[in-house]
Structure 1
């Protein structure tokens, strides 16, 4: 296997693990912990997702470099481009809407539930599937 394709696969599966651990395990469980109120959970979530999205942006940049250096074909590029696009949409479009609601809740307002949360989860699912497909494609290309 080409070293850059192996690097691509490694980064992709590491990123997959981050998404699963934070979005599908930590985020929903946090609100079940004793003593965690909605405002406290939202405050924790904002910090965690800001950090995770920063890490994901770094991984995406390194991934693009690895893809270029590997000379990867479209079977590898396309799903990983979808994952990167999903991340960009989450950060640029969905997170600001989520921040408005969490700002209101943290200010003590009784804000209605946001449909933006469902959008964020949908993009997480798209990102997860795309990362797995891209990682498997990188392994198969090597």
Structure 2
């Protein structure tokens, strides 16, 4: 493993850890905490996911640079491209719909009673795609 592959691998696993910790641990648990109302949880979620998406974009750039300077196999490149594409789709295609939905809930709390939107399920599905792609690319970068 050359040092660029090591940099890419480290960044991949940091990205994977962030997605797992925030999307699959923090996000669902925050609404179970005592005193956290739906408006408060949505406000926190907006801030956290904006920061997560910015961090993911930075990590994707670090990985891309490391892969360009290194000599990754085609499987690594394909898996990283899948993860990056999922992120772009989330930010450009799904987040605006989620923002509109949370705006509606924040202006009228009864909107929350209708349950989660389809956009939310699409976002979660893309998170699963990212997790699988990042895990696959990380394992390949480790040389297994």
Q: Same fold (TM over 0.5)?
A: yes
SS, match of residue 110 in structure 1: helix
Counterpart pick for 1:126 among 112, 118, 129 = 129
- State the match for 2:40 in structure 1: 40
Q: Distance in 2 between matches of 1:57 and 1:75?
A: 21
Q: Distance in 1 between matches of 2:32 and 2:6?
A: 38
Question: C-alpha displacement at 1:72, in angstroms?
Answer: 1.2
Aligned length: 141
Question: C-alpha displacement at 1:88, in angstroms?
Answer: 0.4
Map 1:82-97; keep pairs closer than 5 Å.
Answer: 82-97=82-97
The two structures, once aligned, show a CA RMSD in angstroms of 1.1
Question: C-alpha displacement at 1:109, in angstroms?
Answer: 4.8
- State the match for 1:137 in structure 2: 140
After superposing on structure 2, the runs of 4+ consecutive aligned residues of structure 1 that deviate more than 6 Å are none
Deviations 1:5-58 (A, max 9, x none): 011110000100000110000000000000011111011000000010000001
Deviations 1:70-121 (A, max 9, x none): 1212111001100000000000001100000101111125324311000000
- State the match for 1:117 in structure 2: 120
Q: Distance in 2 between matches of 1:98 and 1:71?
A: 38
Q: Distance in 2 between matches of 1:2 and 1:101?
A: 46
